[in-house]
Amino acid sequence: MKLKLLSMPIMLRCKLFYFIFGVCFLINSSPIVAQDDLLDMLGEEEQKKEFVKNAFKATRVISAQSLEHVGAGVLDFRILHRFGRVNGGSREAYGLDQATIRLGLDYGISNRIMIGLGRSSNKKEIDGFVKYRMLWQGRGKGSVPFSMILLSGFSKDGLEWAKPERENYYTSRFSYFGQALIGRKFSDSFSMQIMPTIIHRNLVAKTIDEHDIYSIGVGARIKLTRRLSFNAEYFYNLPDQLSLTSTNPLSFGFDIETGGHVFQLHFTNALGMNERSLITDTNGSWEKGDIHFGFNISRVFTISTPKEFRKKKTDD
């Protein structure tokens, strides 16, 4: 056999050698290929859960809360500002001569819990809230396709008593609210949420007025460019709960991202900037030009660094 192989032409021996080498390579490499395919399949199944962020650019759509939270250990000093009504005409500088403001501090206790406290010039109200992220939209195995946030809070009227001669109770100044935010970031360009809300007022103006007000809101964001988005929000109050002069709050605006901060400009028929005043005190009409121009702006401060970042810094 050795003599026969040596007697073959050189070209034929080379072809035979390459053929045998190729067969051996395929036989030896096939388990590796199969093993790699198996690892890839396992990797896909064990893909890490990733939470979806930036459904909205700020913690508020316009006046209402959004699906977003401030980060753990971050303090957000937020200014909400509303001018007067545009239909005030040139004598009132189309509303610019008047101003209503809310100053607030929001703090992220964790990535799921956020608290806030604010003070409004409208009715000299103090308000506070707790915001809890119950479900968080994510990608990967075991994730949920939408987010759900639960909100609860209060507001306290600071005006003088309308009838100081009668017996007035301190608790009458308080109102409370509960709200659920249920929403989803459908794509990088579109997010939407619905906001079923209940408000309880300890004191009402007339005996025929309801103490409990039921409302449902909707908020949406459309991304226009990398740094600009269009926002809208609307609350529908169930009928026969508020006075005949009350209207449903409707707002439109733009979010402008400027180097890590979001500047919000908007137009709205609502002057209130907490849940009670936004939903129960709105009486402006878009058709009549009862529109307020306003803006929201914030400045964030890192109060404490989360544990995972402190640990990473120590390891480095």
Cα distance between residue 217 and residue 224, in whole Å? 23
What is the dotted CATH code of the domain comprising 51-311?
A: 2.40.160.40
Cα distance between residue 316 and residue 306, in whole Å? 16
* Pairwise pLDDT comparison (27 vs 215), residue with the higher score: 215
Is residue 221 within 8 Å of 56, Cβ to Cβ? yes
Strand partners, 144: 137
Rounded to 5 degrees, φ, ψ at 248 are -85, 135
pLDDT at 16: 46
pLDDT at 206: 82
pLDDT at 9: 53
pLDDT at 20: 47
pLDDT at 48 over 50: yes
Range 195-221 average pLDDT: 94
pLDDT at 171 over 70: yes
Which residues have a Cβ under 8 Å from the Cβ of 204 and sit 6 or more positions away?
Answer: 210, 211
Q: Which of 256, 255, 235, 254 is nearest to 246 (CA)?
A: 235
Domains of the chain by residue range? 2-45, 51-311
Instruction: Give the model confidence (pLDDT) of 232-275 as tens digits.
Output: 999 999 998 998 889 999 999 999 988 767 899 999 999 999 99
Any idea how long the chain is? 316
Expressed in angstroms, the distance from the first to the final Cα of the chain is 66
Taking the CA of residue 255 as centre, how many other CA atoms within 13 Å lie in the half-sphere pointing to its CB?
28
Amino acid at 158: G
Render 186-247 in DSSP notation, one character per residue: -SSSEEEEEEEEEEEES--SSTTS-SEEEEEEEEEEEE-SSSEEEEEEEEEEPSSSS-TT--
Own/partner long-range contacts of 184-189 (Cβ < 8 Å, ≥24 apart) = 184/55, 184/137, 184/145, 184/146, 184/147, 185/52, 185/54, 185/55, 185/67, 185/137, 188/223, 189/222, 189/223
Range 123-145 average pLDDT: 94
* Pairwise pLDDT comparison (43 vs 127), residue with the higher score: 127
Instruction: Give the model confidence (pLDDT) of 25-44 as tens digits.
Output: 443 444 434 444 544 554 55
Cα distance between residue 274 and residue 220, in whole Å? 19
pLDDT at 24: 45
Say if pTM beats, i.e. exceeds, 0.85: no
Cα distance between residue 83 and residue 259, in whole Å? 26
Cα distance between residue 294 and residue 302, in whole Å? 27
Instruction: Give the model confidence (pLDDT) of 100-114 as tens digits.
Output: 999 999 999 999 999
Is residue 72 within 8 Å of 111, Cβ to Cβ? yes
pLDDT at 12: 46
pLDDT at 223 over 60: yes
